[in-house]
Amino acid sequence: MLLAAGRGERMRPLTDTTPKPLLTVQGRALLDWHLGALQRDGVRQVLVNTAWLGAQIPAHLDAVWPAQGLQLQYSHEQDDFGQALETAGGIARAVPRLGAAFWLAAGDVYAPDFVFDAAQAQAFAASDDLAHVWLVPNPAHHPAGDFGLQESTPGSGTGRALNLPPAPAGQTGAAPRYTYSTIALLKAALFAAPWCDIAAGNPQGVAAPLAPLLRQAMDAGRCGASLYTGRWTDVGTPERLTALNQAA
C-alpha cells in the first residue's frame, strides 16, 4: 500500500494544483520511484489511497504501470468521505483489499535505494510480529527522532523497535532514537481488536494516526525494526524538493 492522500500544506503553492506524491524528483514523480522499486523487487499488486486532487493519481499511474506488470487499486477517501482518513484510518479502510501481511510506504518520501525484500516479507508474515519498521538517522528537521532500536546483535542494524519516551528539551536521551522512514511491513491484524477499535473496513471514515498502533505493538514486543542508511528524504517542504533536484 502506498499512502498518497495528504494535502501537503507545507508544500503549497506546489500542491495547490498537483498532489504531493506526483511532484517530481529528477524528472520522475515521487510515487513512480516507489512503484519502480516495487516492480523491480517482484511486488505485483499495489493499492494507493487518494484524497486531495485524487483523480490525478490514477490518471498518471494507470498510463504507465499496468503495462509494466503492476495491478493497481485505489481507495478514494475524498470521494467516499469528503476527507483524508490519516494513516491508520486510511489503512483500516483498505485492509479488506490487502493481504494478511503487506508493505506500506508513504508516497511523499524519496528512498530510491530501498529494497522491498521478498524473503524478509515472507519471514515477517510467518512471525508473531504485527509490524516491522525501517528507521533512518535523524534528519536536521527532526533531531529528536521517533523510536529506538534494540539490535539483535551489536552492529547488525536490525532487531526490536522500542517505544522510548522523548528526551527532555535540549537533552539527548540515554538510548538513541531514530526517525521512522514511513516504510514498514504490517499485519492486517494490527487494524483489528484489541489493537485498533476502528470497525473492519472503516465504514464510518474514522481518521486516525498510525503511530499509536505501532507503539502498542512495540510495548507488546511485537514490532521489529531495521536501520536503513540509503538515500532518504521526507519531501515535506519546497526547499527539500529543490535540494533533491539540484543534487541530480
pLDDT, tens digit, for every residue of 20-52? 999 999 999 999 999 999 999 999 999 999 999
pLDDT, tens digit, for every residue of 44-76? 999 999 999 999 999 999 999 998 999 999 999
Query: DSSP string covering the chain, please?
Result: -EEE----GGGTTGGGTS-GGGSEETTEEHHHHHHHHHHHTT--EEEEEE-TTTTHHHHHHTTTSGGGT-EEEEEEHHHHHSS--HHHHHHHHHGGGS-SEEEEEETTEE-TT----HHHHHHHHHSS-SEEEEEEPPPTT-TT-SEEEEESSTT-SEEEEE-PPPPPTT---SS-EEEEEEEEEEEGGGGSTTT--SPTT-TT-----SHHHHHHHHHTT-EEEEE--S--EE--SHHHHHHHHHT-
Question: What's the structural domain count of the chain?
Answer: 1
pTM of the model: 0.93
Please report, for the domain that includes residue 37, its CATH number: 3.90.550.10
Q: What residues make up the domain containing 190?
A: 2-246
pLDDT, tens digit, for every residue of 210-229? 999 999 999 999 999 999 99
